[in-house]
Chain A
Amino acid sequence: MTKANFDLVKEIELLRLVTVGSVDDGKSTLIGRLLIDTKGAFEDQLMAVRKQKGATTVSSAADIDLAMLTDGLAAEREQGITIDVAYRYFATPKRKFIMADCPGHEQYTRNMVTGSSTANAAIILIDARNGVMPQTKRHTHILGLLGIPHLIVAVNKMDLVDYDQATFENIREEMDEYCAKQGIKDLICTPMSALTGDMVTIRGDKMDWYEGDTLLATLESLSVLDDLDEKPFRMPVQLVNRPQTADLPDYRGFMGTIASGTIKVGDAVTVVPSGLSSTVKEIVTFDGNLEEAFAPQSITLTLNDNIDISRGDMLVHTGEPTTGEKSLTANVCWIGDEPLERRKKYIIKHTTRQVKALVDDVVFKREIHTLEKEDADSLAMNEIGQIRFKLQQPLNCDSYADNRMTGSFIIIDSFTNNTVGAGMIV
């Protein structure tokens, strides 16, 4: 890097990536391959996990125990399985990647949901020898529900099936069909061998029949442009800033992260749920006031009228309201030890607001293989279904399809305080 590169580095975009798969599909090898080839792992970290303790250099993925590099907990290394998400960071000249490496075991699906919820893109690993596994479908369904914009199916271990095109095409067809059933479009399927590196970072010469890009080239070229700034303005209020200092005795600023849309000085805004309105006086930041701000900036707004606003309220553009009902229906991924049951009460945290919620109805439970709807009264851990809640107070929200920020919520068990569910408003 030279001084001339500073501005280029500044412009680098961020891609949040998640990797999922079944047990033993070679995920650690793939991640190790990406880290080594993009120099995302340091030499001393690689040396610490080399297979031969006497070795003085580490040059390829084959020289190191890759799982040891990513399985950061003693319990994981002891049992040889991944329990929790590990976050890894690597960069190419084009992009910085935050990669959430998720566990494959069904038992740890909740950790997979944790790692996936913020992702822009997902890599679903499949062992070419085993084909599509139940866990592949579960993960793909969850990724679809979470609305991950780009799904990449990585058909790994092609070296163990003699780089056979028909094997790859069969898997591709099965995944295409499964995804089409739930409306997932633009699925990218790539054959590869993480062990040899073919089609991961280099093309190699074994799979000339495949016309697509290598995995890394695909990751570098995926669109990270979202239309967040074109959606209606939404800013859940986190805090009211009242310095009450000698200089600022009457200052009231409304602090929040813009969930979607843009806001300008002078814009008419309405507070939901109260319906009170005013206009934007200033957009305040530490670096000076702005004329305009957009998602996902964290800002402070001052208004021209002294109206009642507190944490949990949301600021929207006047005339662009949210829904605000005392009930809501959502797709729910249940991650609690105790099952969700009809008539049980929970706490829902939606943006910056918490409300009490009652399970009014389990509309259906989703069978993971056929994707058929089943009748049910409960959801056990790792099950997915559609739930209707009754709320103690109305919640101002959008559908998850319209807005990932204002359409999502977590479900909290009020006795244990644990997070037990992920909700996506329909």
Chain B
Amino acid sequence: MSEHKLTQLKALEAESIHIIREVVAEFRNPVMLYSVGKDSSVLVHLARKAFYPAPLPFPLLHVDTGFKFKEMYDFRDAFCEEIGANLIVRKNEDAIAKGMNPKEFGVARCCGALKTQGLLDALEEGGYDAAFGGARRDEEKSRAKERVFSMRDEFGQWDPKNQRPELWSIYNGRIHDGESVRVFPISNWTEMDIWSYIREENIPIVPLYFAKERPMIERGELLIPYYEENQDQYLEGEEPTMVMSRFRTLGCSPCTGAVRSDATNMDEIVIEAAAARRSERETRIIDHGSNSMEDKKKEGYF
């Protein structure tokens, strides 16, 4: 490779940094959505690179459901403190007070209340006109259709049939009062790119991504992590067994499956990702059902 040639990961990195800087230049009050997962870790890392040696010029917003893994909360707090990020945590307190949970109310309703509504409320409360997200186009077919700058109306809704044209790397950040934009700087990264980049850059990630013997509920093809405090979320007769496993994606503990794996370090994870024949979203219960991601996205889901 010639002296003046970027590797594909470095080319993706340069593109992402360009996007992040454009948003900070053109929007009044941006925020970065931070879900504590691997994609968020990469996104925050890119943002730190974009503004070095200055600190991050926007806060990180974690829309918490209260159902995240304990390891995620521990990691989140330690990581944000270490990098000096301004972390904002918001929950849909009304729904939590009413006892919202996936088992009784259904996954769709629970996600709608705790994640979508929680996010919309938090964005409105903060008055943010731009929200960075770590969604990737390779994750799911409706995400494959989304622009880097994705417009949202006053109600936070997405209109997929009428997206703004997006040409070259010239992003149109002009919006009317009340409208906002979701920005996806790592749109063009694949799962393989994410893992390779984490490995190369030594980016810290939640330990749940590494394989370990863990107590799991085996439900059909899904491996659901067992936590004593989640006991009432499991079905009749479900008992935990110890399984060597890890997580390819992280969401809420009652609704995120693990995969059987022996990958205990980054090299092994990258090798496993290269050989994967099934998509990472398969371990997310929320995606199962026709059309589900698109419907949720239209309503404002991240």
Contact = CB atoms under 8 A, between A and B. Distances in A.
Question: Do A and B bind?
Answer: yes
Interface of A: 1-3, 6, 9-14, 39, 42-45, 69-75, 83-89, 91, 96, 98, 110-111, 113-114, 117-118, 225, 228-229, 238-239, 241-243, 245, 247-248, 251, 253, 255-257, 262, 284-287, 294-298, 300, 311, 335, 347, 349-352, 404-405, 408-410, 412, 417-419, 422
B163 interface: yes
A414 to B, nearest CB: 8
B96 interface: no
B192 to A, nearest CB: 8
Contacts of B147: 114
Given A1-B274, A243-B54, A417 B176 contact: yes
B11 interface: yes
A412 B14 contact: no
Nearest to B273: A1
Interface stretch (B2-10, B29-37, B68-76, B99-107): B2-10
B55 interface: yes
A13 B5 CA distance: 9
A335 B22 CA distance: 23
B53 interface: yes
A87 B14 contact: no
Given A72-B142, A255-B21, A87 B165 contact: no
Given A253-B53, A256-B21, A311-B25, 13 more contacts: A14-B11, A72-B144, A73-B161, A75-B160, A86-B141, A96-B190, A113-B165, A238-B25, A284-B52, A286-B48, A298-B13, A298-B14, A419-B172
A69 B141 contact: yes
A10 B9 contact: yes
Given A111-B165, A296-B6, A84 B282 contact: no
A284 to B, nearest CB: 7
Contact of B276 (A42, A85, A286): A42
A298 B279 contact: no
Contacts, number: 194
B96 to A, nearest CB: 31
B167 interface: yes
A13 B167 contact: no
B47 to A, nearest CB: 10
Q: Is the contact region of chain A dominated by helix, strand, or loop, or is it mixed? A: mixed
Given A42-B276, A284-B52, A117 B168 contact: yes
B54 A245 contact: yes
A117 B167 contact: yes
Contacts of B211: none
Interface of B: 1-2, 4-15, 17-18, 21-22, 24-25, 48-55, 137-138, 140-145, 147, 160-161, 163-170, 172, 174-176, 187-188, 190, 192, 196, 199-200, 267, 270-271, 274-279, 282, 291, 294-295
Contacts of A418: 164, 172
B170 A285 contact: no
Could you say which of B10, B144, B169, B291 has the most chain A C-beta atoms within 10 Å of its C-beta? B144
A83 B25 contact: no
A238 B137 contact: no
A420 to B, nearest CB: 8
Contacts of A71: 141
Contact of A83 (B5, B161, B188, B282): B161
Pairs of residues from A and B, 9 with the lowest C-beta to C-beta distance, nearest first: A72-B141, A243-B54, A229-B4, A298-B17, A42-B279, A14-B8, A286-B49, A1-B274, A286-B52
Contact of A75 (B2, B161, B271): B161
B8 A13 contact: yes
A76 to B, nearest CB: 8
B2 A72 contact: no
Given A3-B267, A14-B11, A405 B169 contact: yes
Given A257-B14, A349-B172, A419-B164, A89 B190 contact: yes
A239 B294 contact: no
B167 A262 contact: no
A410 B141 contact: no
Contact of B167 (A11, A296, A410): A410
A72 B279 contact: no
A2 B144 contact: no
B264 to A, nearest CB: 14
Nearest to B160: A73
Contact of A296 (B11, B138, B142, B187): B11
A10 B200 contact: yes
A27 B35 CA distance: 36
B44 to A, nearest CB: 12
Nearest to A68: B141
A422 B21 contact: no
Contact of B172 (A75, A98, A410): A410
A110 to B, nearest CB: 5
Contacts of B165: 110-111, 113-114, 335, 410, 419, 422
B60 to A, nearest CB: 17
B167 A422 contact: yes
A127 B10 CA distance: 38
A75 B291 CA distance: 11
B196 A9 contact: yes
A419 to B, nearest CB: 5
B270 A409 contact: no
